[in-house]
Amino acid sequence: MTVSSQVKGCYSSIKSIEATLETLVSKTQDQEAEKTLKDVQNTMKTVKSDLEKQVLYLTKEEPQYKS
């Protein structure tokens, strides 16, 4: 498995986590839990953005990692 495919797999996992968090936020009744989940969502958005940049870098700058 190449570095690029591992990063892309991680990126896909992050997107799945985001969807799960969105579901949990919409179903929770607890304000404190909702705030915590939203904080985690913001962190995951940052991680996803960073991974997206890395995928683009690997694809453009490191041709050996193209999948």
The per-residue pLDDT for 67 is 55
The per-residue pLDDT for 62 is 66
pTM above 0.85, yes or no: no
Domain count, the chain: 1
The per-residue pLDDT for 14 is 95
* Spatial separation of the C-alpha atoms in residues 5 and 12, rounded to whole Å: 10
The per-residue pLDDT for 57 is 87
The mean pLDDT values, 10 residues at a time, for the chain of 67 residues are 84 94 95 96 95 87 63
Q: Cβ neighbours of residue 22 under 8 Å, at least 6 residues apart?
A: 41
- DSSP-derived 3-state class of residue 52: helix
Distance, C-alpha 34 to centroid of its chain? 19
The per-residue pLDDT for 48 is 94
Scan for tokens 């953005």, then name that residue.
49
Domain that holds residue 38: 3-23+30-65
